[in-house]
Structure 1
Amino acid sequence: MRPVLRSSFGYVLSLLRPPPASQTKLLFKSRGLPLYLRNMAHYHTEERGHPNSPDYRIFFKTSEGKYISPFHDIPLFADTEQEYDVPPKKLKKSEMVFNMVVEVPRWSNAKMEIATKEPLNPIKQDVKKGKLRFVANVFPHKGYIWNYGALPQTWEDPNHTDKDTNCCGDNDPVDVCDIGTQVCLPGQVIQVKVLGILAMIDEGETDWKVIAINIEDPDAHRINSLEDVRNIRPGHLEATVEWFRKYKMPDGKPEIQFAFNGQFKDKEFAVEIVKSTHEHWRALVQKNSNTGEIECKNISVCESPFKCTADEARNVVQLTPAFGNALPVSPEVDKWHFL
């Protein structure tokens, strides 16, 4: 794979877009399929709007063509029987595998995220003060240093005070850092093993960062704990803490703080956090918690008052702009910052 030389989100897509051979055959068999409709294993992603612009969105579809929410309709647990043709994994009883929705590919800068306040929760680029957000390159790092994304069907409840951090949740799904070697695509759904967790405290809110590895990674069978990461990927955990500590400083903000003195908690602790945030999500979609501005429209969650039909979901997508050409990105995005 060619190295990524530019931080433009559209440019990253242009480098990463060619799919594996099996997916290429699928695209060519379906002659009417637009090139911007990408197959991610058993899910599809459909781009709308213009990349590098505020109207850009990545919507999710099943293999049957039904639009879904990556926040609510993609299962958290990948090792159980699921809908949408996602096969259950054959695992040891002691091993849990979770689905991860990739929002940001490694080495890229655009701050892409699941739009929790929009119907069907497509991926979009975050906007602050009217400008698209890009993470700065803080030497020696280039953009994000892992595939960054979220665990579906989890929610950090802003009304719940964590007993360990003494801070409330940040109102988002749980974030994940995939340390696997594959550079993923935005919207790709991968299966990961949880290895540990970091408790970031951002503006007084708990913002958990799960450390995980793609189960398709060549080293996945050897990496089952934080200690394995230290031995097999030396320096990666330390770089992760340093990255989060400094990533907002180029914008004039102070260093990020952490609970537990910036120390990672182990796999067992991390899995308990994931399970508890899954229960908070369940209360959210069943309207047992205050949803606030969170959009809970879904097509598959049992007993959810927010469940909608496939036609209603399709109408949500059709109201957004059609896919168009990428807009240019400021050269400032490629600037190095030495802190």
Structure 2
Amino acid sequence: NMSFTVEERGNLNSLNYRIFFKNAEGKYVSPFHDIPMYADESQNIFNMVVEVPRWTNAKMEIATKDPLNPVKQDMKKGKLRFVANVFPHKGYIWNYGAIPQTWEDPSHKDGDTGYCGDNDPIDVCEIGSKVHSRGDVIKVKVLGVLAMIDEGETDWKVIAINVEDPEANDLNNIGDVRRLKPGYLESTVDWFRRYKVPDGKPENQFAFNGEFKDKDFAIKVIKNTHNFWKDLISQKADLKIQLFF
């Protein structure tokens, strides 16, 4: 059984705050590279690293360029980054995080959206009822995906639910979310459209007129980003060989 623990360092809301990950043996691991993408490949159950608990505002993310890739707070212009409360929302409206071993390649122009990737692991909005903690690694069932265009980059937002959520059995595709959680998908588009406006940015745009794509489409997108991650790893391995030999 893959179990992970976290080690928090520094103080929350400070520049030195970090969340490091350890495996069951207590060895430090990277949440970007060492946690498997699949929790159960046969059932299309994925691992998700929770970066931002629901209702909170600090924009935490896996530090892809730091050793061991801890979770830390994003910086903009030398300041810690918080997302504003965009009425009527309070902070992030889902548990927000990423799927390990995925990467949105900034040199690859997406055939569906016409834009290149955002250079990060693929993002996940987990819509279950439990508020998770920063650094939780949870197993999720994928339900669909939204294609946000953020300042000219493709930034997929996977919609998923924790497999242990009481509603997980009833939610199997994006239509079930629309039916059983009315308004949630519309709120999600509204949130992503407007969350940067308080920072003086324009509204974000979406491919497919802001329509959510279904589960099969979402899984295909995730698998593509997994392949880009594999390419990234092999490039890094090649670079290391060049650097050290």
Give TM-score scaled by structure 1 length. 0.69
1:139 has 2:54 as partner: no
Q: Is the 8 A contact 1:284 1:290 kept in 2?
A: no
SS at match of 2:224: helix
Deviation at 1:252, TM superposition (A): 1.1
How far, CA to CA, are the matches of 1:123 and 1:240 in structure 2? 23
Of the three residues 217, 223, 244, the one matched with 2:165 is 217
How far, CA to CA, are the matches of 2:127 and 2:178 in structure 1? 12
Deviation at 1:290, TM superposition (A): 9.5
1:50 has 2:11 as partner: yes
How far, CA to CA, are the matches of 1:243 and 1:150 in structure 2? 18
Of the three residues 61, 65, 73, the one matched with 1:117 is 65
Structure-2 residue corresponding to 1:72 = 33
Letter in 1 for 2:8: E
Deviation at 1:59, TM superposition (A): 0.2
Structure-2 residue corresponding to 1:160 = 108
Unaligned segments of structure 1, at least 5 residues: 1-40, 81-92, 292-303, 306-339
Q: Is the 8 A contact 1:151 1:174 kept in 2?
A: yes
Q: What whole-Å deviation, never above 9, does each CA across 1:220-256 have from its counterpart, x for those lacking one?
A: 0000011110111111000000000000011111111
Deviation at 1:268, TM superposition (A): 0.6
- Higher RCO (C-alpha under 8 Å, 6+ residues apart): 1
1:177 has 2:125 as partner: yes
1:130 has 2:78 as partner: yes
Map residues 32-43 of structure 1 onto 2, 5 A cutoff.
42-43=3-4
Percent of aligned pairs sharing the same letter: 68
Q: What whole-Å deviation, never above 9, does each CA across 1:160-197 have from its counterpart, x for those lacking one?
A: 00001110000000000000001000000000010000
Structure-2 residue corresponding to 1:265 = 213
1:59 has 2:20 as partner: yes
Deviation at 1:139, TM superposition (A): 0.8
How far, CA to CA, are the matches of 1:260 and 1:290 in structure 2? 37
Deviation at 1:42, TM superposition (A): 1.5
Deviation at 1:53, TM superposition (A): 0.7
How far, CA to CA, are the matches of 2:206 and 2:179 in structure 1? 24
Map residues 277-316 of structure 1 onto 2, 5 A cutoff.
277-287=225-235
Of the three residues 179, 195, 199, the one matched with 1:247 is 195
Unaligned segments of structure 2, at least 5 residues: none
SS at match of 2:33: coil
Q: How many residues align?
A: 240
SS at match of 2:14: coil
Structure-1 residue corresponding to 2:137 = 189
CA RMSD in angstroms, aligned pairs only: 1.6
Deviation at 1:55, TM superposition (A): 1.1
Deviation at 1:289, TM superposition (A): 9.5
More strand by share: 2
Deviation at 1:63, TM superposition (A): 1.7
Deviation at 1:288, TM superposition (A): 7.0
Q: What whole-Å deviation, never above 9, does each CA across 1:12-38 have from its counterpart, x for those lacking one?
A: xxxxxxxxxxxxxxxxxxxxxxxxxxx
Structure-2 residue corresponding to 1:298 = none
Give TM-score scaled by structure 2 length. 0.95
Letter in 2 for 1:243: W
Letter in 2 for 1:59: F
Letter in 2 for 1:197: V
How far, CA to CA, are the matches of 2:238 and 2:95 in structure 1? 31
Structure-2 residue corresponding to 1:105 = 53
How far, CA to CA, are the matches of 2:236 and 2:20 in structure 1? 27
